């Protein structure tokens, strides 16, 4: 496409937020965005496990809470997410998977991004670099039919040896319940069992759907039909991100042009000669 960025791994993409119920394909699409644009995927689940494994102060606190069967509170998650987003590899952008899960978390993320931009704008440097940092999130909601979700979730299987993923309904192995590569018996995740799925979907409806409403009110939500083949969904997501990037760069240029014009106007204003007073 004529307006498509020449090098997607060189331009600043900004934050990308994927929303959708369990089984909508957020993880799959996040990995494709990472490969195409060269930005990291930030998964709150991975962050929690990493902090617990490394024995960080936040990780130890989260481990104690999860051991009691309780949800990790927002304030603790904010600290973990903030530390990760400040790392160098997030400067061009990042994909958020599993965050924000509530409208309150979405509000915190907006405030965090605004604060980070404000602090960077106070530092000396190229104004163009500061403008490039001002990247509002592109928020993409993956929509999937409820019955299709059930097929995706109840049919998911994985090989405990090589990690290959299958779906007994949509992408079955050659031999029932056995891995095509090494013949290992496939396993099912505990949270993909039918008795658990209903609770996961209900939790999404009551807790996470308001996040979509939060961004919809701000006219920042873009819905994508994720019932289609993976490649088609990926192509549409790339198009959304590319348009978002181009529109933002165009807006940045216009802002810089106005600033230059304002400075030129100030320079052209006649200054009174103090010696004649």
Residues annotated as catalytic are: 26, 101, 156, 189, 200
Classify 170 as helix, strand or coil: coil
Burial class (CB in 10 A: 0-12, 13-18, 19+), 30: buried
Nearest to 77 by CA among 96, 62, 91: 62
Helix (H, G, I), strand (E, B) or coil at 182: coil
Residue reference for tokens 């940092």: 133
Q: What is the CA radius of gyration of the chain?
A: 23
Q: Is 34 exposed, middle or buried (0-12, 13-18, 19+ CB in 10 A)?
A: middle
Give every strand in the sheet of 93-97, ordered side by side. 41-43, 93-97, 14-19, 138-143, 221-225
Query: HSE (CB half, 13 Å, CA atoms) of 247?
Result: 11
The closest of 123, 72, 99 to 208, measured between CA atoms, is: 99
């Amino acid at each position: 496409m004529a307006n498509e960025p020449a090098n997607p791994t060189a331009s600043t993409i900004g934050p990308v937020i994927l929303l959708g119920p369990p089984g909508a394909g957020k993880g799959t699409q996040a990995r494709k965005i990472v490969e195409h644009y060269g930005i990291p995927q930030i998964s709150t689940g991975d962050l929690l496990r990493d902090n617990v494994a490394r024995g960080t102060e936040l990780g130890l606190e989260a481990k104690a809470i999860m051991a009691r069967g309780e949800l990790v509170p927002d304030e603790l998650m904010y600290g973990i997410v903030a530390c990760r987003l400040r790392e160098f590899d997030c400067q061009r952008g990042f994909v958020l998977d599993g965050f924000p899960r509530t409208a309150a978390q979405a509000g915190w993320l907006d405030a965090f991004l605004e604060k980070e931009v404000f602090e960077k704008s106070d530092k000396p440097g190229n104004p163009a670099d500061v403008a490039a940092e001002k990247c509002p999130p592109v928020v993409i909601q993956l929509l999937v039919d409820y019955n299709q979700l059930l097929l995706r979730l109840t049919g998911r299987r994985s090989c405990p040896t090589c990690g290959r993923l299958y779906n007994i309904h949509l992408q079955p192995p050659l031999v029932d319940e056995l891995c095509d590569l090494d013949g290992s018996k496939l396993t099912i995740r505990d949270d993909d069992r039918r008795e658990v799925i209903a609770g996961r979907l209900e939790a999404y409806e009551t807790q996470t759907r308001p996040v979509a409403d939060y961004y919809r009110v701000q006219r920042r939500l873009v819905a994508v039909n994720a019932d289609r083949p993976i490649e088609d969904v990926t192509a549409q997501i790339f198009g959304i991100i590319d348009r978002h990037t181009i529109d933002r760069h165009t807006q940045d240029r216009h802002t810089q042009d106005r600033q230059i014009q304002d400075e030129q106007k100030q320079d052209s204003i006649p200054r009174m000669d103090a010696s004649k007073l």
